Chains A and B, each alone.
Chain A
């Protein structure tokens, strides 16, 4: 999967994990990412934002991508540099068109109990890009500048 293999070699290499399609795997994967952020001095706001986006993206990959099929896997890759952190997640589903996801913040959609994941990812990360027909998502978060927040 990893488009990142084309990237220029970095002092901050990607960490890759293959997760089973099981929601428990999310709870097991998140602490490593958050611990890396904390080690690199990312503040609480940034860690909250990344945790939220990571959770939403992994849930989407497992539920909507892999449709909770235990024979399918989710690939997670992340790297943390002093000024930015990046995440790539891919699933083995059929893909989707993110443009077709309705805006959950409009008045007519406000009472819908689902459909907020992608909006939260876009709101809390600085860049969210889908590729491979929606089967892979790349997210980037710049480190919160001192005294300022990049999240809403």
Chain B
């Protein structure tokens, strides 16, 4: 797995490319929590190229969500494909996170 960070308008977009498995969770944690510690509060996690996610990685997303929210911001999820969408529904985390079809929607907060 690799993570590409970029800015899009007033958001930090973290593209998670590959498998967010237990070994990758540490890197995901470092990227997301590192961005928040550095001052970012509006985070979009681009899951459009994420082919796998485990409970550890979900935990990282939740921790980032709570920290960003404490600072008045958010963590939004963008573009999860079928398997990840299934996992989010199964865990009911689609009730916790705002999930958007794509990064553009997540950055603007508009659902198409």
Distance between B52 CB and nearest chain A CB, rounded to angstroms: 7
- Say yes or no: A51 contacts B52, CB within 8 Å: yes
At the interface, is chain B mostly helix, strand, loop or mixed?
helix
Q: A23-B22, A52-B52, A55-B54 are in contact. Are A111 and B90 (CB under 8 A)?
A: no
A111 surroundings in chain B (CB, below 8 A): 62, 65-66, 96
Decide yes or no: A120 and B90 within 8 Å by CB, A52-B52, A111-B96 being known contacts: yes
Known: A24-B23, A27-B23, A55-B21. A116 touches B96 (CB 8 A): no
Smallest CB separation, A1 vs chain B (Å): 23
B11: interface (CB < 8 Å) = no
Residues of A within 8 Å of B60, CB to CB, are 113
Question: Are B55 and A114 in contact (CB-based, < 8 A)?
Answer: yes
Contact with A along B85-96 (1 / 0, CB 8 A): 011011111011
A113 adjacent to B63 (CB under 8 Å): yes
Chain A residue at minimal CB-CB distance from B64: A113
* Chain B residues positioned under 8 Å from A59 (CB to CB): 22, 54-56
- B90 is contacted by which of A24, A45, A56, A123 (Cβ under 8 Å)? A123
Known: A51-B52, A52-B52, A116-B91. A110 touches B59 (CB 8 A): no
A: contact size bracket: 20 to 34
Residues of B near A55 (CB, < 8 A) are 21-22, 54
Asked, given contacts A104-B91, A111-B62, whether A56 binds B55 with beta carbons under 8 Å apart, the answer is yes
Is residue B2 within 8 Å, beta carbon to beta carbon, of the partner chain?
no
A residues in contact with B93, CB < 8 Å: 110
Contact B90 A113 (CB under 8 A): no
What are the residues of chain B within 8 A of A119 when measuring CB–CB?
90-91
A52 to B22, CA, bound (A): 11
A52→B91 contact, CB < 8 A:
no
Cα–Cα distance between A124 and B84 once the two chains are bound (Å): 13
In the complex, 25 of the A-B residue pairs with CB atoms within 8 angstroms, ordered by the A residue number, are A24-B23, A26-B21, A26-B22, A27-B23, A48-B83, A52-B87, A55-B21, A55-B22, A105-B91, A105-B92, A110-B92, A111-B66, A111-B96, A113-B58, A113-B59, A113-B66, A114-B59, A116-B58, A116-B59, A119-B90, A120-B55, A124-B90, A151-B86, A152-B89, A152-B90
Instruction: Identify 5 new A-B residue pairs, CB closer than 8 A, beyond the known A59-B22, A114-B59.
Output: A111-B96, A114-B55, A116-B55, A120-B90, A152-B86
Residues on A facing B (Cβ under 8 Å):
23-24, 26-27, 45, 48, 51-52, 55-56, 59, 104-105, 110-117, 119-120, 123-124, 151-152
